[in-house]
């Protein structure tokens, strides 16, 4: 980031569900010279996630109703009015917060409004992503190119976006389709979007809510397909 530029106010929102073993390391890995506030949304944890996150320096928001998008939306309602850039990531140590500068620099420099961290273009630890997760990213990328002419390789959770841009998108999805809705609405609105490679690790302890079980994978895939179909249908209506 150019030191001569005014540093924008950056809020980091971390969604967490039963991440007692990992959340402190995630918070400590966020670059403190970039993040002005760190918000952890406890999405109904049954363990000490909130207590551990608070001790590590984060502000806690409780959203007891399960839902990936719902958790992030709760975090958004709580961030500072000064916030200009919002960074999203998961609370299981699989994302690499230490790479946050790759995401926020294009926005701070004025060359992008939305930056997505692509796990498929970065270095992935063995076993960190299942085959169907990689395939889903490329399938969504195909649809985005077909509908909007936008190149995409992943729906990674680690992403940064201008707050005013995000608010203009009018996101509604409250479950696993939330990242896809953000990308599709941004593409439809011609938001300046770039994709940067980020590394990805195996989660620290516990089991993935999406890839860790057949039920989780099925539910996530279902919500993603529903979101994809809904937004694609709206696109066709708009063109008609």
CATH number of the domain encompassing residue 217:
3.90.550.10
Element (H, E) at 17: none
Q: What is the pLDDT of residue 17?
A: 96
Q: What is the pLDDT of residue 206?
A: 52
Q: What is the pLDDT of residue 229?
A: 66
Q: Which two tokens stand for residue 197?
A: 């490679």
102, part of any domain: yes
188, part of any domain: yes
Q: What is the pLDDT of residue 203?
A: 72
Q: What is the pLDDT of residue 212?
A: 44
The low-confidence residues of the chain, meaning pLDDT below 70, are 1-4, 205-240
59, part of any domain: yes
Q: What is the pLDDT of residue 139?
A: 81
180, part of any domain: yes
Q: What is the pLDDT of residue 127?
A: 81
Helix 131-148 vs helix 178-188: angle between axes, to the nearest 10 degrees? 20
202, part of any domain: yes
Contacts of 140 (CB under 8 A, 6+ apart): 152, 155, 180, 183, 224, 228
**Number of C-alpha atoms within 13 angstroms, CB side, residue 201?**
16
Q: Please state, in angstroms and rounded to a whole number, the distance separating the CA atoms of residues 149 and 233.
A: 17
Q: Please state, in angstroms and rounded to a whole number, the distance separating the CA atoms of residues 180 and 152.
A: 11
3, part of any domain: no
56, part of any domain: yes
1, part of any domain: no
- In contact, 75 and 86? CB cutoff 8 Å: no
What separation, in Å, do the N-terminal and C-terminal C-alpha atoms of the chain show?
A: 43
Place of tokens 């991440």: 19
Contacts of 87 (CB under 8 A, 6+ apart): 10, 11, 12, 13, 35, 100, 103, 104, 158, 159, 160
Structural domain count of the chain:
1
Q: Please state, in angstroms and rounded to a whole number, the distance separating the CA atoms of residues 7 and 109.
A: 10
Q: What is the pLDDT of residue 141?
A: 86
State the residue range of the domain holding 136: 10-239
């Amino acid at each position: 980031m150019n030191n001569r530029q005014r540093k924008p106010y950056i809020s980091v929102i971390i969604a967490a569900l039963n991440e007692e073993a990992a959340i402190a390391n995630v918070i400590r890995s966020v670059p403190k010279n970039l993040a002005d506030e760190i918000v952890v949304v406890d999405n109904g944890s049954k363990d000490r996630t909130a207590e551990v996150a608070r001790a590590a320096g984060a502000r806690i928001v409780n959203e007891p109703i399960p839902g990936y998008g719902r958790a992030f939306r709760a975090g958004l309602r709580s961030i500072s009015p000064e916030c200009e850039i919002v960074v999203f990531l998961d609370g299981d140590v699989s994302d690499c917060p230490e790479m946050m500068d790759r995401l926020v620099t294009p926005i701070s420099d004025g060359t992008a409004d939305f930056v997505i961290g692509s796990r498929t273009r970065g270095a992935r630890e063995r076993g960190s992503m299942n085959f169907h997760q990689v395939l889903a990213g490329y399938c969504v990328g195909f649809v985005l190119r077909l509908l909007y002419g936008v190149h995409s390789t992943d729906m990674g959770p680690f992403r940064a976006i201008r707050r005013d841009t995000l608010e203009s998108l009018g996101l509604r999805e409250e479950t696993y389709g939330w990242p896809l809705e953000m990308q599709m609405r941004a593409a439809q609105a011609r938001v300046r979007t770039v994709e940067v490679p980020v590394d990805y690790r195996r989660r620290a302890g516990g089991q993935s809510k999406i890839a860790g079980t057949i039920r989780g994978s099925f539910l996530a895939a279902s919500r993603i397909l529903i979101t994809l179909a809904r937004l694609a249908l709206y696109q066709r209506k708009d063109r008609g």
